[in-house]
Structure 1
Amino acid sequence: MKAIITGVTGFRNRGVEALVKTTVEQLLRRNPQLNIDILTETPDYDRIRLPQEKVNLVDIKSYYQGWLQKLQAKSSKFNKSLAPEYTLFKEASVVIASGGDLFTSDYGGLRYHLRPLNLALHARVPVVFLGQSIAFKTNEEAQTWLKVAHLSKLITVREGVSYKYLTKDLELPTDLVKHTADSAFLLEPPPSEDIANLLQSYGLTEEFPIVAIAPSQGISRYSGLSEKQHIETWHQVIKMILDEFNAQVLLIPHSQNLRPNNDDRIIATNIYRSFRFEPRIHLAGADHSASEFKGLISACDMLIAERMHAAIAGISSSVCTMVIGYSVKAEGIMTDVLEAESVHNRLLISIKQFLDADLACSKLRTAWKCRDEVSSQLKEALPRVKKDAASNFDLIGQILK
C-alpha cells in the first residue's frame, strides 16, 4: 500500500516541514505498513529532516521535465507513453495534496500544483486535498480548480472561512468537503531540557519576558507594499517592545529559501542590523527544524507572526499570538480557535494596517495586556483543535480501507 504526497515546495520553509512531518507521522501511526512517496522541490535537504525508511523523496522538478508539459497541452490526449513515471501514480492507493494554501490566488502556480493530481485521476487513484485554505479571486481560477475538486475523493479545509467558501459559494457538497484543522497543530516540540538549552545558547534569560517575532521576507511582495516601510515599522514596534515591555526579542526566520525574495533570514538580519545588533535582540539563526522553532516559541510570553505556521506553533503552545495577515488563512485559523471578536480586536491585524506603526503599536499594547487571558483561552480550545487536526487522518484511513 502506498500514499503519494504532493504540494511540497521544500522543508526549508518550516511550515511545509511541519505539515508534511505530521502528515507522515499520522499516516504511519494508522497504517504502519504504508509506504509514502513525497514529490518535493528539495529532496536532498528534505531527506535530512525526514530519514524514515518508509518514505521516498522524489525530485518533482526532474519528474516534470518535458513529458508532463506535453500531457497538459490542449491538443494532446493523455498517453501513457508520454509519462514513463505513470506507474508511480498507478501503484498508489491515495494521492494527498498538501501545501496549506497553494490552491489560492495568493502565489500563482495553480496549474503547476494541479498537474500531479490530474495524473492521479487519469490513473484512477483517489485524490485528497488535505487541510487546505482555499480562495480564488477570479472565476477562471475557481473553475480550473473545480475540475479536479469535483473528481476528488475528499477535501478537508483547515478553517471555517474556506469551508463556507467551498460549500456556499462554490456549492461543493458537504459529504465531499470536511472542516478539520491544520495538521501542524499536532507537531511535537523538543524535550523541555533541549528548549532550555536553546534559549541559553541564544543568550535569553528568565529575568525578562521574551517576545518572539516571525517576520516574512515575502509578505511585501505578496501584498504589493513597500519593503522599506515594512522594515521601518518593525523597527518601531520592536523599539516599543524593548522600551515599554522591558522584554527580550527573539527573531524567528521560519521560512528559509534559496530564493532571496522569500528567505526570512534576510529580513530578520536587516531588522537586527537596524538596531546595530542590540544585545536584547536575539536571532535564532541556526538551521533549526520546525519542531525546534516551535520549542523556542513555546518558551516565549508572546509571539508576533507574519508566517502562518510560526503562528500555529505559538497558538498550539498556548502562547498569546498576534498575527499579521494578508490572506484568508489568518482570519480563518484564528477565529476557529478563539472568539471572532477577540481575534479582530486584539490578535489580528492586516499587513496594510501594520504598516501604520502607531496603529500596530496600539494593537500590540492591547494584546500584551491580555496575554495571560489569551493563553488560558488557548489551553481550553486546543484539545478540540488537535482532535479536529487528527480527524484528517481518520478520514484518509477510511479511504485506504
Structure 2
Amino acid sequence: MKALITGVTGLRNRGVEALLTTTVDQLFKRHPNLTIDIFTETPDYDQKRLQQDNINLLNMATKHKDLMQKLRVKGSKFNKSLAPEYCLFKEASIVIASGGDLFTSDYPGALGFHLRPLELALHAEVPVVFLGQSIAFKTNDDAQKWLGVARRSKLITVREEFSYKYLTKDLGLSPNLVKHTADVAFLLQPPPPDKVNNLLKSYGVTQDRPVVAIAPSQGITRFSNCDDEQHLKSWLQVINMILNEFDAQVLLIPHAQSTSLGNDDRFIATNLHKSLDFHPRIHLAGADHSASEFKGLISNCDLLIAERMHAAIAGLSSNICTVVVGYSVKAEGIMTDLLGNESVNNGLLISIEQFIDSDSACATIRTAWHRRQEVTEQLKEALPRVTQDAVNNFDMIMEILK
C-alpha cells in the first residue's frame, strides 16, 4: 500500500518539516508497512532529514506541470499513454495534500501549481485528502479553482474554526466532507532535555536571566506589502525593550530557510544581530537545526514572539506564552481555537500592520510578558484537546485506507 504526499515546498522551511515529519510518523505508526512517496521541490536536501525506509523523495518542482500538459488533450480529457509517470498516481492508495496554507490567495500564482498533482490523482481515481489546512480565498476565481478539486476529494481537514466556517457556510461544502481538527505539527516531539540543554549552552544562553525567543520572518513584508525598513526598526525597538526593561536574553530562531533570499530568515536574524552590535545577551541559533531541535530551544524560553506560524506552534505546544505576528487567517484562527478570542485579543496576537508601529508592538509584547504565567496555565489546560484533534486527522485517513 502506498501513500503519496504533495504540497512539500522543501524542508529548509522548518514549518514544512514539522508538518511532514509528524505526518510520516503518524502514518507509519498506524501502518508500519506503508510506502510513502513525497513530492518535494528540494529532494537532495530533504533526503538528509528523512532517512527512514519505505520513503521515496520525488522532485516534482516541474514534473507534475509537464505531466498535466502531456495528459491533457482537449478540455478535461486525458491521454494516459503519453505519460509513463502517470503510474506514480495510479499506484497510490491515497494522495495527501500537506502544506498548511498553500490553498489560499496569499501566495500569487501558487494555487494552480499545488492543485495540479491533485487533479492528476483524481483522474487516476485515487482518493485525495487535504490535511490540516487553513483555507481562504480573496477572489471567486481562486475559490472556484480550488472547489473544482475539493468537491471530488475524499476528506478535507482544517486546522481552525475560521476555515471550517468558511468552507461549510460560505463555500457550501458538506460537514461530512470537511472536518475541524488541528495542525499536525502540535504532535512534533523535541529532542531529549539533556541534548537541548547542551544546545542552549553551545549558544551561550545562561540560566541567570530569562530568555525570550524571537522567530522573525524575512518574507512577511513581501506577503503583506509592508515596509522592510520599518519592520526592522520595530524589531530593534522590541529587542531593546527585552534587553533593558525585561533584563532578559534574546534567542533568535531563523525558522524558515531557503535558497530564495527573500524568504530566508537567517538574513533578518543576522541583520538584527549586527544592528545591535552583537550584544552579548543576544544569541543566534544559526546552525542547520531540525524543526524538532528548534522546538527544543523554544521550549526552554520564557516567552516567544513569532512571525512564523510553525515556530509559534512549537512554542504553544510546549506551554510557552507566545505572541504571534500575523498576516493571514491562519494566525488568528489557530490562536483563537487554542486560547479563545478574549485571551488572543489581550496581548497574544498582533497583525503585521500593527507590529510595524513599534510603540504598538512593544505595548502588546509588554502585556504578554506580564501575563506569561497565566497563559502557560491556559495552554496546559487546552493542549490535550488540541493534541487529540491533531491525532484525529490520521485516524480519519486510516479509515479511508481501510
TM-score category (smaller protein): over 0.9
Structure 1 runs of 4+ with >2 Å offset: 61-77
CA displacement 1:152-179 (0-9 Å, x = unmatched): 0000000000001000000100000000
Q: How does 1:178-257 map to 2 (within 5 A)?
A: 178-257=179-258
Quote the Cα distance in structure 2 between the aligned partners of 1:320 and 1:76.
50
Residue identity matched to 2:171: L
Matches within 5 A, 1:117-132: 117-132=118-133
Correspondence for 2:143: 142
Cα offset, 1:77, TM superposition: 2.9
1:12 aligns with 2:16: no
Match of 2:91 in 1: 91
Residue 61 of structure 1 deviates from its aligned partner by 2.3
| Superposed CA offset, 1:206-252 (max 9, x none) | 10000000000000000001111110110001000000000000000
Q: 1:230 to 1:72 in 2, by over 3 A?
A: farther
Distance change in 2, residues 1:24/1:275 (3 Å): same
Q: Report matched runs for 1:273-312 at 5 Å.
A: 273-312=274-313
Partner of 2:174: 173
**1:41 corresponds to 2:41:** yes
Q: Matched residue of 1:295: which SS?
A: helix
Structure 2 residue matching 1:113: 3-state secondary structure? helix
- In structure 1, C-alpha distance between the alignment counterparts of 2:332 and 2:353, rounded to whole Å: 15
Mapped to 1, the partners of 2:313 and 2:24 lie a distance apart of 18
- Structure 1 residue ranges without an equivalent (≥5): none
Whole-angstrom distance in 1 between the partners of 2:387 and 2:198: 27
1: distance between equivalents of 2:84 and 2:68?
10
| Mapped contact 2:13–2:258 kept (Cα < 8 A) | yes
Q: Deviations over 1:12-65 (max 9, x none)?
A: 000000000000000010111110000000011111101010111001125236
- Say if 1:305 and 1:321, in contact at 8 Å, map to a contact too: yes
SS of aligned partner of 1:85: helix
Contact 2:157-2:393 within 8 A present in 1 as well: yes
| 1:106 counterpart residue number | 106
Cα distance in structure 2, aligned partners of 1:72 and 1:290: 39
CA–CA distance in 1 between the matches of 2:48 and 2:125?
33
| Deviation of 1:71 (Å) | 3.9
- With 98-107 and 72-81 compared, the bigger mean Cα shift is at 72-81
Q: How far is the alpha carbon of 1:349 from its aligned partner?
A: 0.2
Q: Among all aligned residue pairs of Structure 1 and Structure 2, give the percentage whose two residues are the same amino acid.
A: 70
1:28 aligned residue: 28
Task: Write the letter of the residue equivalent to 1:327.
Answer: S
Give the equivalent residue in structure 1 for 2:335: 334
Residues 318, 378 of structure 1: 8 Å contact kept: yes
What is the alpha-carbon distance in structure 1 between the residues aligned to residue 74 and residue 16 of structure 2? 32
Once the two structures are TM-superposed, the CA of residue 74 in structure 1 deviates from its matched residue by 6.1
1:32 is matched by which residue type in structure 2? P
Q: Distance in 2 between matches of 1:142 and 1:82?
A: 31
Contact 1:215 1:305 in 2 (8 A): yes
- Please, what TM-score do these two structures have when normalized by structure 2? 0.98
- Specify the SS of the correspondent of 1:228: helix
Find the residue that maps to 2:199 and give its secondary structure: helix
The separation in 1 between residues aligned to 2:91 and 2:106, in whole angstroms, is 33
Q: In structure 2, give the amino acid aligned to 1:237.
A: V
Q: Against the structure 1 CA distance between its residues 89 and 237, is the aligned structure 2 distance closer, same or farther, given a 3 Å change threshold?
A: same
Pairing 1:351–2:352 present: yes
Instruction: In structure 1, give the amino acid aligned to 2:193.
Output: S
CA distance in 2, matches of 1:273, 1:221: 22
- Residues 1:204 and 1:2: Cα distance change in structure 2 (over 3 Å): same
Contact 2:68–2:120 under 8 Å retained in 1: no
Deviations 1:296-355 (A, max 9, x none): 000000000000000000000000000000000000000111021110121000000001
Equivalence for 2:370: 369
Aligned to 1:55: 55
Q: Indicate the SS of the match to 2:132.
A: strand
Q: How many angstroms does 1:81 deviate by?
A: 2.6
Q: CA deviation at 1:276?
A: 1.0
Determine the C-alpha separation between the residues in 1 that align with 2:96 and 2:159: 15
The answer to whether the 8 A contact 2:64-2:116 is kept is no
Question: How far off is 1:363 after superposition?
Answer: 0.8
Q: TM-score, normalised by structure 1?
A: 0.98
Paired AA for residue 9 in structure 1: T
CA distance in 2 between counterparts of 1:191 and 1:151 reads 43
